[in-house]
Amino acid sequence: MARIDFYILPDTTLDARLQFACKLAETIHRKGYRLHLHCEDKALAEQADEALWGFRDDAYLPHALEDSDMATSVPITLGWQQLPVPSVETALLNLHPDIPEGIERYTRIAEIINQHQQVLVAKRACWQRYKELGHEVVPHKLGNG
C-alpha cells in the first residue's frame, strides 16, 4: 500500500497550489526520486510546466511534458493521460481532481488541497477512497507563517 501525503494549504488560488507543487517537486527531486505530476488536462500540465520554469531564479528542475521527446530523459514529467509505469522509484504528485488508475505502482503519492470549494470536495472524496483502499493517509496542514 502507498503512503498518501495530503498537503492542506490555506490559500484558495490555483497559483498558490502550483507554487506549492513546485516547492514539493524540488524537495522530492532533491531526495533522489523521479516524479510524475499528474494533471487534469494538457492546459494544467502546461501551467505547471511554466510554474516549474519560473518558481525560483536560482534553481532549475529538469522536467518535460509527457508528450515531449525529452520525457524519458528527465527526472520530472508532467502528464494528463494514463499514468506512466515507473521504471525506478517514482513519486506521484496528483493535481487531478480524481484518483488516476495505476496508483498501485507508486509507493509515495502527494495530493495538494487548497481552500477552493471544487478542490475541497474532490480531494475529500479522494481522501475517503484512499482510506477505503487501505492506503496510509497523512495530513500536513500548512499555515500562513
Provide the pLDDT for residue 144.
65
Sheet holding 90-94, edge to edge: 63-65, 76-79, 34-38, 90-94, 108-113, 3-8, 136-141
pTM of the model: 0.93
Strands (E), the chain: 3-8, 34-38, 63-65, 76-79, 90-94, 108-113, 136-141
CATH of 3-141, one of 3.40.109.10, 2.60.40.10, 3.40.50.10110, 3.30.470.10: 3.40.50.10110
pLDDT in tens, the chain (145 residues): 889 999 999 999 999 999 999 999 999 999 999 999 999 999 999 999 999 998 888 878 999 999 999 998 999 999 999 999 887 889 999 999 999 999 999 989 999 999 999 999 999 999 999 999 999 999 999 986 5
Domain boundaries defined on the chain:
3-141
